[in-house]
A and B are shown apart, each in its own frame.
Chain A
């Protein structure tokens, strides 16, 4: 089954404790991205990757890191989480054309206390 898998689904952590949210896709998509969703703000892009070893900042990259060592994986790293990073996070993947839909992971609800 074609899918994007994110883990964990829910996470509560403390300020400053490094964490990684994993994302994996099995569709051989070149393009992967991370979004955060906050009430009233829609989905805002954090980072994206157009292919292996190619990553770039989205609209809200501060406080986040990513890597793309393999085509299928695109982890999101919070080196020192802060309460303002409490949010719902989505990983998405797609082919790279403008007419290609994005497939989303199930979402990760992160709370930083």
Chain B
């Protein structure tokens, strides 16, 4: 079974609007971390935001926020006021403290976001 599921292969958003990228995860660990990375067309992987399983508040980093719903096992990325430079692939990832993944960072298949002018 997939540990990280991103159900939106591609999305479009109008410039200056907000967009939500979905991510659900599967783990039986109590301790885990959730990460979002951005991959622009140039190819590099850019860390955006982190949410810990024990964090009670949703993480925020500038225009990025993470809508963390622990009971539903979802960790959606919200980008506010989209910019043309936000067009990229976005990957959700998880790291378990004790699970069978040995602390590895497990990725979803990604969502390609396109921002329209």
A residues adjacent to B (C-beta < 8 A): 31, 33, 35, 40-45, 48, 50, 56, 58, 88, 90, 92, 94, 96-104, 106-107, 109
Contacts and interface: CB of A to CB of B under 8 A. Distances in A.
Given A41-B109, A42-B91, A43-B91, A99 B43 contact: no
Consensus secondary structure, chain A interface: strand
B25 interface: no
A101 B35 contact: yes
B2 to A, nearest CB: 10
A33 B107 CA distance: 13
A45 B35 CA distance: 16
Contacts of B102: 48, 50, 56
Interface residues of B, number: 26
Nearest to A33: B104
A110 B93 CA distance: 24
Given A98-B31, A98-B97, A101-B50, A42 B103 contact: no
B30 to A, nearest CB: 10
A58 B43 CA distance: 22
Give 9 closest A-B pairs by Cβ, nearest first. A104-B45, A42-B109, A98-B97, A43-B107, A99-B33, A42-B107, A98-B95, A98-B33, A107-B43
